[in-house]
Amino acid sequence: MPEGLPMLMEKAYAGNETRQPVLDPGMIPVVPPKSNRPDP
């Protein structure tokens, strides 16, 4: 899979621990920000 592909994710998975598996292969997580996330 080529690096830099966007990966659409549900806002329920906006935590750093669920973004890391998307970042590891070089994909870009695209997640709507949750209202309670300190750094959207």
How high is the pLDDT of residue 16? 82
Q: Which residue has the tokens 């997640």?
A: 31
Q: What pLDDT, on a 0 to 100 scale, did the predictor assign at position 17?
A: 87
- What are all long-range contacts of 20-26, with beta carbons under 8 Å and residues at least 24 apart? 25/1, 26/2
The pTM for the full model equals 0.64
- In this prediction, residue 10 carries a pLDDT of 87
The one-letter amino acid code at 29 reads: P
In angstroms, what is the C-alpha Rg of the chain?
Answer: 10
Q: Yes or no: say if 35 and 14 are a contact pair by the CB < 8 Å rule.
A: no
Tens digit of each residue's pLDDT (9 = 90 or more) over 1-39 = 678 999 998 888 777 888 888 899 999 988 887 777 676
- Determine the pLDDT at residue 40: 59
Phi (first) and psi of residue 18, to 5 degrees? -95, -15
pLDDT at 1: 67
